[in-house]
Structure 1
Amino acid sequence: MQGIEKSYGDLHVLRGVDLDVAPGSIFALLGSNGAGKTTLVKILSTLLRADAGAASIEGFDIATQPADVRGSISLTGQFAAVDEVLTGRENLVLVARLRHLKGAGRIADELLARFQLTDAAGRRVATYSGGMRRRLDIAMSLIGNPPAIFLDEPTTGLDPQSRAEVWSCVKELAEQGTTVLLTTQYLDEAEHLADRIAILHEGRIIANGTLDELKRLLPPATVEYVEKQPTLEEIFLAVIEGAAE
């Protein structure tokens, strides 16, 4: 994409955004609330029209070929778009049928197994944990095998264990060839997952590179011996895993 701009009256949300996401990679768009991350995702997914600039996804122009773009992507928003009245399997079967795919039951069962939800397939989604709902949400977005998926702050509001579950799912997507554009305000999420990271600030990309490249933007660190203490998140996950054994 080149020169993407978007304004609402006098409010300039995007001020000329340039990005290039490599196929099969995880690209993290990092920024605080109000930086313009969700607006950019909506433009790329053809839900909004840019005021200026151009972008293409899988070779399709977002402005002149929106139907082809929508057929090449899937979008998972900040909140899981699942039907709590239905079971996990019923949610997947419903989406497969809406996409007019043959073998909806087989597709559902394969995705349930892929996302470790087989044991919960017959339960109503209202009984699922936050992490399970998000995993189901991502599974639903993969029906039809889109080559690219947009994850807009996928771990917002999740506990540490659920975040770890979602991170594992995202890594698996890229390993199987899916291009992932991930927006997040969590620094550790971008650091843990992304092949490349761009920092969006006040509508502009102010840094873009691998984690190592971004680290080189700062002065070399002073080497000191410090005993590393576990973080609270590490303690939490260890205790939970121990209790499950």
Structure 2
Amino acid sequence: MLEVIGVSKSYGRNKVLKNVSFKIFPGELLFLLGKNGAGKTTLLNIISSIHSMTKGEVLINGFSIKDRPIEAKRSLGYIVDDIKAFEFLTGGEFLEFIASVYKLENKDRIIKRYVTLFQMDDCLNQLISTYSSGMKKKIMIISCLIRNPPVLIMDEPTNGLDIGSHLVLFNEIRSLASKKTILIATHDRFIIEGLIAMGIKSRIAIIKDGRIAALDTLDNLKRRYHKRSVAEVFLEVYKL
């Protein structure tokens, strides 16, 4: 489970997040939508402890990121949109490093599965600094998925991916959604509507001016705003 409780974030007088609260239960996927600058990435960075919050609380798998940070971080996987770290390692060295930090059992088999799925077999001996943006995204996705954490958060996970890798990730999310707690911040309406069409238990949260302006299932939101698609609901919320 992921619980965000009254989270606020300010930079001086600039209030980026204002009393944001929601829960995501195991076997549920929450899509987080909002315009650029609405606070999506700031919120994900707070959940993952990259940034501190001004006030509030976050519980990951029952562990407070303030009081039990190690346990909370071990329970969380974060696929970031902006990838800059570990470029001095090869892809293979990076995955081995992650496997050793988290003491993964059967690491060779697990790494091999995901490396093959994302067609990175021939790239593992290359420095990450030489990777294209899409390859960097794939190695970060793999490093997250091999850990099999109970809570997953993803910031624009399909950005930079080729069509084949986009489909692979889509299928992995579909497979994991019944067992994991998943939060995805995205502008990709195709992945939203595609996963919802698969019958995955999900809700949509729309963040506006640092607050959650709407939070419900897509069907309920379409009925409430008398719209036919997630894009139309989004535009209507931002008119309010």
Q: Which residue in the other structure is 1:32 paired with?
A: 35
Amino acid at match of 2:74: G
**Of 181, 184, 187, the match for 2:186:** 184
Structure 1 residues 134 and 166, CA gap change in structure 2 (3 angstroms): farther
| Match in the other structure for 1:237 | none
Classify 1:156/1:122 alpha carbon distance in 2 versus 1 (closer, same or farther; 3 Å): closer
Structure 1 contact 62–69 (Cα < 8 Å) conserved = yes
Do structure 1's residue 117 and structure 2's residue 119 form an aligned pair?
yes
Alignment of 1:48-197 (within 5 A): 48-80=51-83, 88-101=91-104, 103-113=106-116, 115-117=117-119, 119-120=121-122, 124=126, 131=134, 133-158=136-161, 160-175=163-178, 177-193=179-195, 195-197=202-204
Are the equivalent residues in 2 in contact too, given 1:27–1:196 (CA < 8 A)? yes
CA RMSD of aligned residues (A): 2.8
1:25 Cα offset (Å): 2.1
Bigger mean CA deviation after superposition, 21-30 or 94-103? 94-103
Return the TM-score normalized by structure 1. Answer: 0.76
Q: CA deviation at 1:123?
A: 5.8
Which digits, 9 at most, give the CA deviation of each residue in 1:56-93, with x for residues without a partner?
11111122211211111011110346766766544322
202-211 or 85-94, which deviates more: 85-94
Higher mean C-alpha displacement, 177-186 vs 152-161: 152-161
Secondary structure of the structure 2 residue equivalent to 1:18: strand
Q: Does residue 207 of structure 2 align to residue 204 of structure 1?
A: no
Q: Is structure 2 residue 17 aligned with structure 1 residue 14?
A: yes
Cα distance in structure 2, aligned partners of 1:112 and 1:159: 15
- Deviation per CA, 1:74-129: give whole Å up to 9, x if none: 1111034676676654432232123344554333223334x343754656367877
Larger Rg: 1
How many pairs align? 219
Equivalent position amino acid for 1:190 in 2: I
Residue 235 of structure 1 corresponds to none
For the residue of structure 2 that corresponds to 1:5, the secondary structure is strand
Query: Which secondary structure does the structure 2 equivalent of 1:56 belong to?
Result: strand
Structure 2 distance, partners of 1:107, 1:162, is: 18
Distance 2:151 2:29 in 1: 10
- Please give the alpha-carbon distance, in whole angstroms, between the structure 2 residues aligned to 1:59 and 1:121: 38
| Residues 1:102 and 1:68: Cα distance change in structure 2 (over 3 Å) | same
Gaps of 5+ in 2: 197-201, 229-240
Q: Where does the alignment leave 5 or more consecutive residues of structure 1 unmatched?
A: 222-245
**2:238 maps to which residue?**
none
Superposition deviation, residue 172 in structure 1 = 2.7
Please identify, of 66-75 and 81-90, the stretch whose mean Cα deviation from structure 2 is larger: 81-90
1:30-61 CA distance string (max 9 Å, x none)? 11110101111111112222222222111111
Task: Note closer, same or farther for the CA distance 1:77–1:20 as it changes in structure 2 (3 Å cut).
Answer: same
Q: Is the 1:153–1:184 contact (alpha carbons within 8 Å) kept by the matching residues of 2?
A: yes
Normalising by structure 2, we get a TM-score of 0.77
The residue matched to 1:34 in structure 2 has which SS?
coil
Q: Which amino acid aligns with 2:24?
A: V
CA shift, 1:150, in A, is: 1.2
8 Å contact kept, 1:153–1:185: yes
3-state SS of the aligned residue for 2:171? helix
